[in-house]
């Protein structure tokens, strides 16, 4: 392969990688249909809205060969602010977009009953707002 072809392929790879660092234009996202939880999207591209104050169901399941039977439970939690989502992008106002992991941080901790922690196990999900818009 010629050096100029290698350089062109490298430049294309760099530009393609950089494209994922910038959110789509706000005008493009504003023109997309907004699907509000718990509604399901149709076909095509869309923005998904998790509205503030509305319970968002989370399904918790435990299964496996060490259990006598699988268990499942649904719990609901509400967000303090609206959250708009499009692929890996997030916004609180539907106009200013950042990578979702820069806006919301999620941490999960699991403690199983043990000699060191007798009693019920604990599944702890922490959802923190990282920054404002």
The domain locations on the chain are 23-129
The number of angstroms, rounded, from the C-alpha of 111 to the middle of its chain's C-alpha atoms is: 24
pLDDT in tens, 86-102: 999 999 999 999 999 99
Average pLDDT, the chain: 87
> How many other C-beta atoms lie within 10 A of the C-beta of residue 105?
13
Cα atoms in the Cβ-side hemisphere of radius 13 Å centred on 11:
6
Question: Given this model, what pLDDT does residue 10 score?
Answer: 53
Is 18 or 106 the better-scoring residue by pLDDT?
106
- Among 133, 75, 78, 124, which Cα is nearest to 100's? 133
Question: Given this model, what pLDDT does residue 2 score?
Answer: 54
Using CA atoms, how far apart are residues 109 and 84, in angstroms rounded to an integer? 26
pLDDT in tens, 36-73: 999 999 899 999 999 999 999 999 999 999 999 999 99
Strand partners, 44: none
Q: What's the whole-number mean pLDDT along residues 17-35?
A: 83
pLDDT in tens, 2-16: 554 444 455 454 444
Question: Given this model, what pLDDT does residue 24 score?
Answer: 87
Question: Given this model, what pLDDT does residue 70 score?
Answer: 98
Distance of CA 110 to CAs 57, 58, 59, 64, 126, Å? 20, 16, 16, 16, 11
Above 60 in pLDDT, residue 76? yes
pLDDT in tens, 114-126: 999 999 999 999 9
Strand partners, 59: 74
Predicted TM-score (pTM) above 0.85: no
Using CA atoms, how far apart are residues 51 and 35, in angstroms rounded to an integer? 10
- Among 17, 65, 67, 58, which Cα is nearest to 37's? 58
Which tokens hold the place of 45? Answer: 């591209």
């Amino acid at each position: 392969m010629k050096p100029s072809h290698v350089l062109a392929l490298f430049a294309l790879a760099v530009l393609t990688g950089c494209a994922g660092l910038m959110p789509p234009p706000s005008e493009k996202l504003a023109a997309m249909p907004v699907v509000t939880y718990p509604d399901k999207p149709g076909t095509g591209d869309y923005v998904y809205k998790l509205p503030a104050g509305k319970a968002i169901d989370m399904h918790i399941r435990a299964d496996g060969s060490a259990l006598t039977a699988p268990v499942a439970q649904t719990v609901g939690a509400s967000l303090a602010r609206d959250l708009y989502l499009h692929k890996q992008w997030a916004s609180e106002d539907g106009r200013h977009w950042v990578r979702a992991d820069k806006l919301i941080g999620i941490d999960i901790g699991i403690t199983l009953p043990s000699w060191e922690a007798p009693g019920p196990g604990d599944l702890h999900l922490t959802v923190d707002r990282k920054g404002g818009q």
